[in-house]
Amino acid sequence: MRIKTHLAAGLVLGALLAAGCGGDLGAKMMANPEVQNNIMGTIAGHSLTASLMMDRLLASDSARAIVIDKSLANGATAQQLLLAVAKNPTMLDGVINLAVQDPATKDHVLTLFRGMQMAGVK
């Protein structure tokens, strides 16, 4: 698997070099969908690089909003995020504390809790 990752990275580097060494490399990558796809595939296939890319995306307010929107729009990812929050008491407390700041949401949360009490959920 490591050889494949290095080979893919080498192919991407070769494609970038073939595109020309002068000028803005980012603009050349964005102008060529095949090179763009190869680079993104290489990043996605290498966990350390993908982690570093996520750090960059999460550092920017606008990119972070895109990551959150895309994550919540993807059913499997949203479910995994909700499960992570549900399993972490501190995070769950934070969500509930934020939710009850809004009066309408507070009423909804209290209604859910009352319903769980009446149903005998433990």
Q: What are the tens digits of pLDDT across the range 83-118?
A: 999 999 999 999 999 999 999 999 999 999 999 999
The residue type of 71 is S
| Token representation of residue 93 | 């407390």
Residue 119 covered by a domain: yes
Task: For residue 56, report the phi and psi dihedrals to the nearest 5 degrees.
Answer: -70, -45
pLDDT (0 to 100) of residue 79: 98
Range(s) of the domain holding residue 111: 88-122
pLDDT (0 to 100) of residue 98: 95
Residue 55 covered by a domain: no
Q: CB neighbours (10 Å) of residue 31? A: 11
Residue 17 covered by a domain: no
Question: Band of the pLDDT at 1, cuts 50, 70, 90?
Answer: low
Question: Tens digits of per-residue pLDDT, 6-19?
Answer: 555 555 555 555 55
Report how many domains make up the chain.
1
Residue 99 covered by a domain: yes
Residue 96 covered by a domain: yes
Residue 97 covered by a domain: yes
Model pTM score: 0.65
Question: Tens digits of per-residue pLDDT, 66-89?
Answer: 999 999 999 999 999 999 999 999
| pLDDT top residue among 1 and 52 | 52
Residue 102 covered by a domain: yes
Burial of 118 (0-12, 13-18, 19+ CB in 10 A): exposed
Residue 68 covered by a domain: no
